[in-house]
Chains A and B, each alone.
Chain A
Amino acid sequence: MATGLYSQHLHNRSIFYIRNSLIAVFLIAFAAVSLFPIVYMFAWSFGPAIESASTSYNIFPGRWSFDSYKAFISFSNYSLKWIWNSIIVATFTVLGNVIFAGMAGYAFSKIKFRGRSFLFFVILLSMMIPYQVTQVPLYILIVKNFHMTNTYPALILPGMCTAYNIFMAKQFFQGIPTALIESAKIEGCSQLMIFNKIILPLSKTILSVMAINTFLNSWNTFFWPFLVTSKEEMYTIQVGLKTFKFANGSLLSPMMAGACISVIPMFVLFFSLQKYFLEGVTVGAVKG
């Protein structure tokens, strides 16, 4: 598998193996360093639910228990609802993006309608604007004008169809041969039928990648839910975790337990769908 970059030492197997082992040792060492915070988080989440200052804490806890998880869950009446809220928000955000960004991406790549290139240009341009520019007007719009604080629509609607996803879908659909669509048209298919019967089955991978990326981003987003929720029962898990952190800054293990609760669902998702996660990284980047 060695590419031409590593062509030397191929004739001398022992040097070849020593070289590769050295590289592997370094890679594993660096991986251990960058995974350490995660390991530390998991280990200490099973520590005691008491102030750490009073105990001399080690790298890993001495006695393992679920006390800290209980402490985090009993911190608020709504601790478990935060996870439920995150699931609802992320699910509807994914549905919105897959359906509407998918449809828009298809139209931008395969339907010749008036205003198409101008509109796409404007959407592309908007991707370069930092979110700080839109945050204040968006906040005023949702909170002061629409009075939508503490509602699911306030959490979901602004991210329901992102420019990035439209762009990604368009890039992918462009690769589908137009002849396929033309022949379906001649057979009498409407655009909606073409999209449902031909395009969607061809783009399961890209739509899965988009769904997973969107789910992850929505789950991890803190800023917007923090702005539009004020009641504890409407917090997402990230806002809940932040609130817990500011209320219990000195409780090591319960904080780790909270962090674990917020992270574990994504880790489960990652280990079951790793291929799509890793593919998602390069999909957006390759065309640059």
Chain B
Amino acid sequence: MKKQEIQKKNLSKPRYHMADNISGWGFIGVAVAVFVIFTLYPVISAVITSFQEYKPFGSEFVGFENYITALGNDLFWKSIKNTLVYTVVVIPLSLILSFSIAIMIVPFTKSVQSVFKGIYYLPGIASGVAISVVWLWLYDASPNGIFNRVLALFGATSQNWLSSSKTAMLSLIIMALLSSHGANIIIYIAALHGIDNTYYEAAEMDGAKFFQKIRYIVLPMCRPTTLFLLVTGVIGSFQVFMNAYMMTGGGPDNNTTMIGLLIFNNAFTYGKYGLACAQAILLAIVIAALTTLQFKLMGEDIEY
């Protein structure tokens, strides 16, 4: 009887041993120090700064002024709109593309599969700066530019891809869609391999054809993967900075100014640290809301 009670006590409350406490904190010591100095402190400091007007010696507390300025600024809304347009077009299309390619890679042998994986992954290894430098030339406005040559094949006239307000955003979207899907494809292939053969066999008994198997087996079974890629894709897309910064500088007429570029400019071009922090926190809230929304809409019956 007493023994049982003692056991119950042990189970309900985790017991820590002195030795474990010491070695545990010894093992995480450096990691925690790095985390506190370079992540935790900056996050707290960002919240404080967002309520201040930054001055090198003693910043001034201004209440919600930075937030009011941010929310009342047309450019802020325009950049949110640009980011949304970019995300809404790029992420779903690239998911469909990677899913289709993964489906097409699966029927081949393991070695052929890994060759394709390697080929599709390769462009993703190049840095954003290098890729931007190359794409700047592909979009060259002269008739010699690669994209203008493609247009010429169809008899269309040359375009000022990056410097016309009609095509600038489209150019960034095409670039994102034709750049690397390697990681997404590989993750989808892994998910496809995780589907047990018996599902297909059962479906065949019922006379299911290829597209019915995709519709009723593959898509539902891949839903956790799709959700994961969707959520991480949207989060990444909302933080996009490189393409607008390197390719268009946000122009023409701020038509490609994404929220990441706007915050960067406010902070490091104009030195408005308080405003930049306020916008960054608004961005974090938007991202958190979108993530929750996606889980609500798609994740209802997913078990992990």
By a beta-carbon cutoff of 8 Å, the part of chain A in contact with chain B is: 1-8, 20, 23-24, 26-27, 30-31, 33-38, 40-41, 44, 52-53, 56-59, 96, 100-101, 103-104, 106-108, 111-114, 116, 119, 122-123, 126, 128-141, 144, 157-158, 160-161, 163, 166, 190-192, 195, 216, 219-220, 222-223, 227, 238, 241-242, 245, 249, 252, 255-256, 258-259, 262-263, 266-267, 270, 274, 277-278, 281-282, 285-286, 288
How many angstroms from the CA of A241 to the CA of B242 in the assembled complex?
13
Secondary structure type dominating chain A contacts: helix
Beta-carbon contact of B190 and A133 below 8 Å? no
Task: Give the number of residues in B that approach A within 8 Å (Cβ atoms).
Answer: 115
Beta-carbon contact of B125 and A263 below 8 Å? yes
Q: B104 near A: Cβ within 8 Å?
A: yes
How many angstroms from the CA of A20 to the CA of B125 in the assembled complex?
29
Residues in A with CB closer than 8 Å to B37 are: 141
Residues in A with CB closer than 8 Å to B144 are: 52, 56-58
Given the known interface contacts A216-B125, A259-B134, A288-B228, the answer about A1 and B110 at a Cβ–Cβ threshold of 8 Å is yes
Q: B270 near A: Cβ within 8 Å?
A: no
Extra 15 A-B pairs, beta carbons < 8 Å, given A38-B123, A281-B121: A5-B214, A20-B108, A34-B181, A37-B138, A38-B126, A41-B130, A59-B149, A114-B16, A132-B279, A133-B281, A135-B280, A136-B49, A161-B30, A259-B129, A263-B127
**Inter-chain contact count A-B, CB under 8 Å?**
301
Beta-carbon contact of B246 and A111 below 8 Å? no
Residues in B with CB closer than 8 Å to A52 are: 144
How many angstroms from the CA of A96 to the CA of B54 in the assembled complex?
33
Q: Hey, what's the 0/1 contact readout for B213-251 against A, CB within 8 Å counting as 1?
A: 110011000001100100000010011011000100000
Residues in B with CB closer than 8 Å to A266 are: 125-127
How many angstroms from the CA of A259 to the CA of B134 in the assembled complex?
8
Beta-carbon contact of A103 and B186 below 8 Å? no
